[in-house]
Chain A
Amino acid sequence: MKGIEIRNTSKDFGNVHALQNVSVHFEENKIYGLLGRNGAGKSTLLNVITGRIFANNGEVLVDGETALENDSITQKIYMMSEKNYYPENMKIRDVFGWTKEFYLGFDTAYAIQLAERFELNIDKKVKSLSTGYSSIFKLITALSTNAPYILLDEPVLGLDANHRDLFYRIVIEKFSENPCTVIISTHLIEEAAGVIDHVVIIKDGEIIKDESRDDLMSKGYTATGAVSVVDSFIADKNVLGTDSLGGLKTAYISGALDRSTVPSGIEISKMDLQRLFIQLTNS
C-alpha cells in the first residue's frame, strides 16, 4: 500500500501517554494538516514515523515496507523539525551540499532559487540565523529534497506574515508541479487551512478526526442568534460547542443542515477549520 501507514502505535514518556494506539494512513500526493494542541502528540507522531524515537508498540509502514531502520525507506522521507539538527558551524550552502549527498533528488538550483525568494544568505552559518531564518533554511532544504514524503513540524515558526504567505504559495506551487505527500504540523490553522487537503486532528495522543478538509467542513455549520432561539434550535443537535457574547450565542454543530428547520433569527454560516479545531480539542 502506498503512503505512510501507522498501525496501533503507542508511545509513553514516563507517565505521559504521548500516543495511544494511533492508527492513521497518510496517502500519497496529498497535503495533510496534522493539528493538535501543545503536547497533543504531533511531534511525537512525526518523530516515530522517521524513527528518531522508538514507539512502545505498533509499526510504521512506508509504501508497504517497515520504515524503522530501513535506509531505502528513510530516503523517501524528509522531516523538518522545530529544532535544528544540523551542525551549528555549517554554512547553509554546505547544508544544501550535504543534503544532496543523502537525498539524491535534492535540487540545489531550486534551493538557491528559494533562498533568493526568501532573501536568505546561504553563506551564513546555521548558528547565525534568527529563529525565522532558521525555519526558512530548513523549509527550503525540505522542499528541495524532492522526497515523496515531506514532514514539516511547525514550519512557520518565527516567520513574519510575508514569509508565511510566501511559504504557503511555494508549497502549492511545488505540489502542483511535483505532487508529493506533505504533512504540516502547525498551530496556525487558519493560515494552513487554505493549503491542506486532509485534516488529522490529534488530542491527548489519540486521533480524533481523520477526514478530508472539505468533508469535515461540510459536516458542520455554525448557528448564531439570540440565546433562547439558538438554545431551542440546537436542542436536538450534535453540538460541538458554543460561544456566548452579550445576548448572542454561536453554536458549532456537527451534522447536515436542513434549512427548512432553521427558525427566523438564526444566521447559518460555514464552520471554519480553526473554530472546529477549537471546539473539538477544548477539553
Chain B
Amino acid sequence: MKLKSTVKYQIIDIGKPVSIFYFVLFCILVFGFTVSGARFVISGNVVSTTTGPEISGMELATVVFLFVCGLNSFKEFFRMFMQNGISRKTIFISRLITILDVCTGMAVIDKGILLLGKLIASISNRILYKGLFEMIYSVRADRISALHMHIDGFFFNLCLYLAAMTIGYFITIAFYRMNRIAKITVAVGVPMVLLNGLPTLDAVLLHGAVMRALVNAFTFAFGFQNGGNPYFGMVTLLLIAAVFSCLSWLMARRAVVKD
C-alpha cells in the first residue's frame, strides 16, 4: 500500500517548515520573557500594559501557520504523487492523515510550550502566561481544574488546527481547479462581497439583521452563551473541518495534472 509512503513523504516535507516555525516562536518567547521586566507585553495580537506583563494566545500563530501550510499543500504534492502512480483517493486520504498527524503533533508541542511558559511565569511571579483556550473561554477556565482546562484546551486547539488546515487545503484545491478568470473573480469577488457588499447591504437595507444573526450563530456555535461551553466550539470546528474535507474531495477527485 502506497498510503504509508505518501503520508511519510508529506510529514517529512512539512517537518522543515514546522521546525523553522517553532524556532521563530521560541525566539519570540525568549525575547518576550527576557524583556518582560521592561513591561513588554504580548497578548496575541492585542497589546496591554494595564497589569503585569502578559504573554497569551501564542497558539494563534500555529493556526495561521497551519492555514498557510494548508494553502501550500496541493499542487506540488499532487504532481509528485501522480508522477509516482498514486491514485487521487490515496493522495486525499494520505493528506487527511497528514493533517491529523501534524495538527495533533503541533497541539501537543503547543501544550508543552504553554506548560513551560506557565512554569516560567509562575517562577517569575510577575508574568501572566495564558493559552488561547483561557482567553476564549476565560469564565469557564476560572471555574474548572487546571488539568481539566488543559485537556479541554488541547482538544479545542486540535479542533481549531484541523479546521484551519482543512480550510487552507480546500482553498488551494479550489483555486487549482479554477481557470484564470474564475480565480480572479473569486479572489476579488469574495472579499469584496464579505467585507464591503454584505455589511453595506446589511446596514442600509436590513438594519444590521444579518450581522446580528451572524453574531448569534457564532455565539451559539462556539458555546459563548452561559459562561461558555467549549464543546460547542469543538463540535463546530470539527464540523467545519469535515465539511471542508468533503468539499476538498469533491474538488480533488476530478483534478488533472496541469502543465
Contacts and interface: CB of A to CB of B under 8 A. Distances in A.
- Tell whether A pairs with B: yes
Interface of A: 47, 50-54, 69-71, 74-75, 77-79, 81, 83, 85-87, 98-99, 101-103
Contacts of B90: 71
Contacts of A54: 254, 256
B2 A102 contact: yes
Nearest to B79: A85
B254 A74 contact: no
Interface residues of B, number: 21
16 contacts: A50-B82, A51-B82, A52-B82, A52-B256, A54-B254, A69-B87, A69-B89, A74-B86, A79-B83, A85-B79, A86-B83, A98-B9, A102-B5, A102-B86, A103-B84, A103-B85
Given A52-B256, A54-B254, A71-B2, A85 B83 contact: yes
Contact of A70 (B9, B84, B87, B254): B87
Contact of A101 (B9, B76, B87): B9
B2 A53 contact: no
Contacts of B87: 51, 69-71, 74
Contacts of B254: 54
A101 B8 contact: yes
Nearest to A87: B76
A91 to B, nearest CB: 14
Nearest to B12: A98
B5 to A, nearest CB: 4
Interface string B16-29: 00000000000000
B177 interface: no
Interface in B1-40: 1-2, 5, 8-9
With a 10 A CB-CB cut-off, give which of B2, B88, B89 has the most chain A CB atoms.
B2
A12 B231 CA distance: 50
Contact of A74 (B76, B85, B256): B85
A78 B79 contact: no
B259 interface: yes
Interface string B180-211: 00000000000000000000000000000000
B217 interface: no
Nearest to A71: B87
B44 to A, nearest CB: 34
A106 B8 CA distance: 18
B257 interface: yes
A86 B80 CA distance: 5
A81 B2 contact: no
A50 B76 CA distance: 18
A169 B256 CA distance: 34
A86 B78 CA distance: 10
A69 B84 contact: no
A81 B83 contact: yes
A47 B79 CA distance: 13
Contact of B85 (A47, A78, A81): A78
Contacts of A74: 85-87
Given A85-B80, A98-B9, A102-B5, A52 B257 contact: yes
A47 B83 CA distance: 11
Which 10 A-B pairs give the minimum distances between C-beta atoms? Answer: A74-B85, A102-B84, A85-B79, A85-B83, A52-B257, A101-B5, A69-B87, A53-B256, A71-B87, A83-B259
Contacts of A102: 2, 5, 84-86
B125 to A, nearest CB: 47
Contacts of B83: 79, 81, 85-86
Nearest to B76: A87
B80 A50 contact: no
B180 to A, nearest CB: 15
Contacts of B259: 83
Contacts of B257: 47, 52-53, 85
Nearest to A100: B5
A50 B194 CA distance: 41
A85 B82 CA distance: 8
A78 B88 CA distance: 16
A50 B86 CA distance: 10
Contacts of A71: 1-2, 85-87, 90
Contacts of B2: 71, 75, 102
A81 B259 CA distance: 10
A16 to B, nearest CB: 15
Contacts of A69: 87-89
With a 10 A CB-CB cut-off, give which of A79, A83, A85 has the most chain B CB atoms.
A85
Given A69-B89, A75-B85, A101-B8, 19 more contacts: A47-B257, A51-B82, A52-B82, A53-B257, A54-B254, A70-B87, A71-B85, A71-B87, A74-B85, A75-B2, A81-B83, A85-B79, A87-B76, A87-B80, A98-B9, A98-B80, A101-B9, A102-B86, A103-B85
